[in-house]
Structure 1
Amino acid sequence: MRTLITGGTVVSMDPAVGTLARADLLITDGVITEIAERIDAPDAEVIEASGRIVMPGFVDTHRHTWQTAFRGVGVDWTFMQYLVAMHDTVKPHYRPEDVYLGNLLGRLEALSSGVTTMLDWFHCAQTPEHTDAAVTALRDTAGRSVFGFGAGFRTSDPIETEVRRIRSGLLSDDGLVTMALALRGPEMTTMDIVAEDLKLAAELGLRTTVHIETGGTGGRPIAELFEHGLLRDTTTFVHANGISDDQLRMLADAGSSVSISPDVELKMGIGLPETGRMLAAGLRPTLSTDDSPAAGGDMFSTMRTAFAAQRGLDGTLGVRDVLEFATLDGADACGLGTRTGSLTPGKDADLILLRADDLTVFPFNNPVGTIVAAGHPGLVDTVLVAGRVVKRDGALVDVDLHALQARLLESRNRIAAAAGVALDGTWQPPA
């Protein structure tokens, strides 16, 4: 099976390929096999890309997808209010069906806005059925997803049996949906439990991801992990606001990765995104949208906030770096850098076509700069994952959105009524 994408402006994110003003891209059995000015492939299905930007799909390295039904409810919340609202008040009323619908609609939203790879940081594992529903939803979309199983916040409950069940019975490394372990971390549990969780992850061949920040206390959680020999090149540290320079260097020396959520970090008072300090320490930040109650779910606005915040601090960050955060660096952090993150012959064809003729970006003089500074989900015309077209001419393929949206609204209304939560933004949980 061959697909020829022809006549687009190719922003490959691969230095060896570069940015091509006009080029063709050939896909064979889901893999990019050739990029050139002209390609002759008479047997291939043709996707006409004139007036389009052809680029790698985005990679979101941290999203709590199960919360999709409560989009926008918490835009005024602090981080502590978010914890009380979503984890103490709302989550207890979630049934497996609610998890399924949140994950399904959230993953479809991400796909529609050009996120071809997403790490689902799942911490609504009330029962094995809740977990199975989350995984099933990811499988029922056509996206490339990493299911980050987490035991939740503020818990020391045993997780080994459930992790082994998921790893052996649900998820392997072969499909589009793979697995990671979302650690509780040193700020949520004991160092002994962190060590046990990391040992389990290593035994099962799982990458790990963990929330970390100091809350302005001057704490040294990374140094504690370092002193216990628990820093890994397979761990992504989420947020890392307030982490001192020497601890950031510890992460860089260990080969760890980092994920920033600039919109949520700024809005919820977690702290300034540490983009510049991470770069100075030798780390390549990756980007994430975090949670829909507080922020939007697209990588365009996430890139723009990260860019503007750091430019406002010191004027140094460039747009090329930001686009790498959202593609190449994100793929590396998910352990998928050899498969996705750039338009490179030999990699899977995870790519998106953006409308370059849309009035909001026309004329598209500086492709990378325009994508970062002015891009938006409305530009996403076509999306392919592993060579399969999942969005065409601005619409998701083979998805009955109206039916799914109706089901999500029913789910949301039931949970909100049971939890006593107003949906119009007037409810303010205690901090």
Structure 2
Amino acid sequence: MKTLLRGGAVVSMDPVVGELARGDVLIEDGVIVEVGEYVDAPDAEVIDATDRIVMPGFVDNHRHSWQTAFRGVGADWTFPEWAVAMHGTVKPHYRPEDVYVGTRLGRLEALHSGVTTMLDWYHVAQSHEHEDAAVAALRDAPGRSIFCLGAGWGTPNPVEADIRRVRSELSGDGLVTMAFGLRGAEDTGTDMVAQELKLAAELDLRTSLHVASDGTQRPVADLHEYGLLRDTTTYVHANGISDDELRMLADAGASLSISPDVELKMGFGSPMTGRALAAGLRPTLSIDDVPSVGGDMFSTMRTAFAVQRGLDGGLRSRDLLEFATVDAARSCGLDSRTGSITPGKDADLILLRTDDLTVFPVTDPVATIVSAGHPGLVDTVLVGGHVVKRDGVLLGVDLPALRNRLLESRNRIAAAAGVPLDTTWHPQPNR
């Protein structure tokens, strides 16, 4: 099967392919086979990309989609309040069905806003049925997803048996794959981190780890001392770690995921974007959780861009687009498959409207995407060459039914937990 995207402004994120003011992209059997100013393919199905930017789909390498039902409730929360609310108050009332519908709607929301690849950092950790519900939700959403099985907040799980069990179900290289969410030395000690990394290597799993410092701790240096830094690990946030620790991550070939909106709003500190670059570490971007922030990569890029420019005048718009596409794909070990419009890669692509009044006229596509882009521009989405969104509408999804299920889930959990569904709810952290 051949598909030809005809006549769009191509932003490839590939230095060889470059940018085309008017170009065609030919897809065959889900793979990009040719990119050029004009591609002759008379036997291909044509998608008219006139007045569209054609670019690789966004890659979000850190999102907790099980929390989708409580979108916006935590807009005013600090990090300690979020921890008490989501992990201490509502999570114990989550059933597998709640995990399923939250994860599925969260993944569809990301897809709707142009995120073709998403790492879902799961830390509900209630039962095997909860884990299976999350995996099923990702499989039922037509995106490229990574199920990152991590420990529940304040719990000793998952154990080795859990990781092996889920890995046996996600052993291929299909649209849904697996990663391992590490607990970290602060929670379990370096010996346990070493055991978890050994298990990850045995099962060929990439790993992800939340880490930060208040200036009195050196979590990355501690791991470095014990030889536990890996080029297969993505470190999330990392606010407050020292410059020499950033260089340790760079030397190890590790990745860094920055969630600028959450980090600024919840009191983590300034995003580490500029400091990471100065240390030789290419940062990537992620959403984190939607109870507190929006779920699209456009606003995430814009926050990271504005903050760093305000601090030192650094960064250019292209940097942000690289963080959210090819750099993030590399952090997930998927840069040979996605992240740029490169012949031989899977066709994970999005088409953005350029005739929308919020961006018209589009003089510089890259600058426009970063400075003024928003989910309303996402007209068409392809994953592996399959069209999953067309003319602004997700295909093959009964959204009214899913919305009703999510509302029922949210209302039941809130009632069981005894919490209000508005921003008057301010959980009290333990002091």
TM range (shorter): over 0.9
CA apart distance, 1:166: 0.4
1:384 counterpart residue number: 382
1:98 aligns with 2:98: yes
In structure 1, what is the equivalent of residue 201 of structure 2? 202
Q: Which runs of 5+ in 1 are unaligned?
A: none
- Letter of the 1:389 partner, please give it: V
Match of 2:128 in 1: 128
Q: CA deviation at 1:423?
A: 1.2
Q: Distance in 2 between matches of 1:111 and 1:416?
A: 27
Cα distance in 2 between the residues matched to 1:192 and 1:414: 40
Aligned position for 1:264 = 262
Task: Tell me whether 104-113 or 35-44 shows the greater mean CA deviation.
Answer: 35-44
Query: Could you say which residue in structure 2 is the equivalent of 1:179?
Result: 178
Q: What is the TM-score with the length of structure 1 in the denominator?
A: 0.99
**8 Å CA contact 2:90, 2:413 repeated in 1:** yes
Q: Give the Cα–Cα distance (whole angstroms) in 2 for the partners of residues 227 and 6 of structure 1.
A: 53
Question: Where do 1:362-373 residues align within 5 Å?
Answer: 362-373=360-371
Equivalent-residue separation in structure 2 for 1:272 and 1:264 (angstroms): 10
Q: Distance in 2 between matches of 1:219 and 1:303?
A: 29
Q: Distance in 1 between matches of 2:190 and 2:160?
A: 16
Does 1:222 pair with 2:234?
A: no
Aligned counterparts, 1:2-81, within 5 A: 2-81=2-81
**How far did residue 221 of structure 1 move?**
0.4
Correspondence for 1:116? 116
Matched residues in 2 for 1:187 and 1:324: separation?
Answer: 32
| Structure 2: runs of 5+ lacking an equivalent | none
Q: Distance in 1 between matches of 2:158 and 2:49?
A: 51
- How many Å apart are 1:77 and its aligned residue? 0.6
Cα contact 2:125–2:158 (8 A) shared by 1: no
Distance 2:163 2:395 in 1: 33
Given that 1:154 and 1:184 are in contact with CA atoms closer than 8 Å, whether structure 2 keeps it comes out as no
Q: Conserved in 1, the CA contact under 8 Å of 2:215 and 2:241?
A: no
Distance 2:415 2:153 in 1: 24
Identity percentage of aligned residues: 73
CA distance in 1, matches of 2:39, 2:425: 58
| Equivalences for residues 221-260 of structure 1 within 5 A | 221-260=219-258
Structure 1 residue 287: Cα displacement:
0.5
For residues 328-339 of structure 1, the aligned pairs below 5 Å read 328-339=326-337
* C-alpha distance in structure 2 between counterparts of 1:88 and 1:153, whole Å: 8
Alpha-carbon shift at residue 195 of structure 1 (Å): 1.1
What is the CA–CA distance in structure 2 between the aligned matches of 1:306 and 1:38, rounded to whole Å?
36
- Greater Cα offset, 157-166 or 239-248: 157-166
What secondary structure is seen at the aligned counterpart in 2 of 1:187?
helix
TM-aligned CA deviation for residue 158 of structure 1: 5.7
Distance 1:156 1:137 in 2: 25
* 1:275-294 alignment runs, 5 A limit: 275-294=273-292
C-alpha distance after superposition, 1:238-258 (max 9, x if no partner): 000001000000000000000
SS in 1 for 2:187: coil
Q: Would you say 1:402 and 2:400 are equivalent positions?
A: yes
1:119-198 aligned at under 5 Å gives the runs 119-157=119-157, 159-168=159-168, 170-198=169-197
User: In the alignment, is the contact (CA less than 8 A) between 1:152 and 1:184 conserved in 2?
Assistant: no
Q: CA RMSD in A?
A: 0.8
Task: Note the C-alpha offset of 1:422.
Answer: 1.1
Matched letter for residue 235 of structure 2 = F
Query: Which contiguous aligned blocks of 4+ residues in structure 1 show a shift greater than 6 angstroms?
Result: none
Q: How many residues align?
A: 429
Q: Which amino acid aligns with 2:336?
A: T
AA partner of residue 103 (structure 1): T
Q: Which amino acid aligns with 2:400?
A: H
Task: Tell me, yes or no, if the aligned pair for 1:358 and 1:379 is still in contact at 8 Å.
Answer: yes
Structure-2 change in CA distance of 1:157 and 1:121 (3 Å): closer
Residue type at the aligned position of 1:224 = D
Residues 127 and 76 of structure 1, relative CA distance in 2, 3 Å threshold = same
Q: Distance in 2 between matches of 1:75 and 1:24?
A: 42
The alpha-carbon deviation at position 194 of structure 1 amounts to 1.0
Task: Tell me the CA shift for residue 136 of structure 1.
Answer: 0.3
TM superposition shift of 1:37: 1.0
Contact conserved, 1:71 with 1:293, CA < 8 A, in 2? yes
Q: Give the Cα separation in 2 of the matches to 1:370 and 1:158.
A: 43
What's the secondary structure of 1:188's corresponding residue? helix
Quote the Cα distance in structure 1 between the aligned partners of 2:342 and 2:275: 30
For residue 154 of structure 1, report the CA deviation from its aligned partner.
2.8
Equivalent position amino acid for 2:354 in 1: A
SS in 2 for 1:282: coil
